[in-house]
Amino acid sequence: MLVYNTLSNKKEEFKPINPPNVTMYVCGPTIYDYFHIGNGRTFVMSDIIRRYLIYKGYNVKFVMNLTDIDDKIIKKANEEGVSTNELTQRYENAFMEDIKKFKMKPADIYPKATEHMHEIEDIIEKLENKGIAYNIDGNVFYEVGKFNGYGKLSGKKTDELESGSRVDINEQKKNPLDFSVWKKSKEGEPFWKSKWGNGRPGWHIECSAMSMKHLGETIDIHAGGNDLIFPHHENEIAQSEAATGKEFAHYWMHFGFLNIDKQKMSKSLGNFFTARDILAQYPAEALRLLFVQSHYRSPLNFSKELIESSQKGTEKISNLAKLLLKGNENTGGIDLEFDFSKYYSQFAEAMDDDFNTSQASAVIFDFIKDVNRIIAENENIAPNFYEEALKFIQLTANDVLGIIDFNELENEENTDDDNWILEQIEARINAKNDKNWKLADEIRINLAEKGIILEDSKTGTTYKKKW
């Protein structure tokens, strides 16, 4: 199994630290607003990678942090005249609602920065004791020049960054590249007491503390959007490895940008969409299919035409699944020769090659085409064919890619069944009114054979299912 590692800029064989256990940390949202569909792509693709690792037999401990204190949060809270706690709680609730709609498996832990102040202060103190962090009037900075490996993730060189640097100028810093690990509180800002005075943590130190607290000093996979490579992930590596003397993460995975109609998404262009906006118009499965049809590292274009095409694709999967569920009820029939193993191998081959979901989804659609052809060409097929075909769709399209939801499908089937049963009861009542006792008995017997027991009373006829 090969994974592209941003740190080495090449595909590497996946070797977990402690197999079959895998530790995975994904940089989650800053909870001050609804997340946009570009963030949604990162969250969904992380979800699919986790699902596939589980499919392969790994025990995955999956952590996604929630940033609940930073400059953007304070600014938005002040604008709305609410506390930062009230603001972040509102958008944390919205985030949980939206990822549920996205059909994402919940993370094992959603740590919050404000709940890890002790761990954050502990790392800063270690850095200070090693002479790598310095305190200027209650502001603590990480001295980039003291870490020899700075720039190894992004490929950026410190001398190039220093000349023409876009880093905010701060006269307190020894070097423009030095970054905050603890910020002195300003008037009216939330703060926590510390040995350096009242303040709050810098953004980068929060993720280091939460990752190490819940997954250990060295983890298997650290993931996030391409925009986090520098400076966020670069700074995480610098502060974590300087504090512990150990490698912070073995594999760094980053997800490509999402464009709208081939333009960068931005509020100024009026093409900024939240995931909530899109999920109100299209099913989650369609959006997930749109995401998986491009490789996770590549840029992805979003358009109305593409999402509608993806929706038609999910309907093809659902239509076959419904057909297989019906065929599964058959008794007897002809045993067919069909090589299911070929499709499993092709699916695994695609996913084992750096989670190539584009090729993996193509295997599923080839499978759908071939199964539909077999069903069209043959009559009275034995139920085991339907069972095996259904199993493949469930394991790949449902369990791994999440581009069909079997729970919803079965609920839909149950609703259809209930409507059919009510129609049969009405037909039986009409037969009895016409004194057609033979037809009424035939309907009752037919329903009983399907596990549906009718109960007649003075108030009417009800039913219950035996299985």
Could you tell me the residue ranges of all domains in the chain? 2-264, 282-404, 409-465
pLDDT at residue 465, rounded to an integer = 67
Rg of the chain over Cα atoms, rounded to whole angstroms, equals 28
Per-residue pLDDT of the chain (467 residues; tens, 9 = 90+): 999 999 999 999 999 999 999 999 999 999 999 999 999 999 999 999 999 999 999 999 999 999 999 999 999 999 999 999 999 999 999 999 999 999 999 999 999 999 999 999 999 999 999 999 999 999 999 999 999 999 999 999 887 776 554 545 566 899 989 999 999 999 989 999 999 999 999 999 999 999 999 999 999 999 999 999 999 999 999 999 999 999 999 999 999 999 998 888 877 777 889 999 999 999 999 999 999 999 999 999 999 999 999 999 999 999 999 889 887 666 678 888 899 999 999 999 999 999 999 999 999 999 999 999 999 998 888 889 999 999 999 999 999 999 999 888 776 665 556 777 888 888 888 888 888 888 888 888 888 877 788 888 766 787 776 55
At 194, give phi and psi (nearest 5°): -150, 175
pLDDT at 137: 95
Cα 70 to its chain centre, rounded Å, is 24
Please state the separation of Cα 138 from the chain's center in Å.
38
- Pairing type for strands 199-201 and 179-184 reads antiparallel
Give strand ranges (E) for 45-157: 59-64, 133-136, 139-142
pLDDT of residue 327: 77
- Topology (CATH level 3) of domain 2-264: Rossmann fold (3.40.50)
Residue 48's Cα: distance from chain center in Å? 6
Place of tokens 């039986």: 428
Buried b (16+ CB within 10 A) or exposed e, 66-86: bbbbbeebbebbeeeeeebee
User: In this structure, is the dihedral angle defined by the CA atoms of residues 228, 229, 233 and 238, taken in order, positive or negative?
Assistant: negative
Quote the pLDDT of residue 252. 98
Q: Which of 169, 293, 158 is nearest to 235 (CA)?
A: 158
Spell out the long-range contacts of 101-105 with Cβ–Cβ below 8 A and sequence spacing 24 or more. Answer: 101/279, 101/284, 102/40, 102/43, 102/44, 102/47, 102/275, 102/279, 102/284, 102/287, 102/288, 103/284, 103/285, 103/288, 103/402, 103/405, 104/43, 104/44, 104/47, 104/402, 105/47, 105/50, 105/51, 105/62
CATH 1.10.730.10 fits 282-404, yes or no: yes
Residue type, 351: M
Helices (H) and strands (E) in the chain, counts: 15, 15
Torsion sign, CA atoms 119, 125, 126, 132: positive
Helices 406-433 & 304-327 angle (0-180, nearest 10): 50
Cα-based distances in Å from 221 to 199, 250, 467: 31, 6, 44
Helix (H) or strand (E) holding 52: helix 37-55
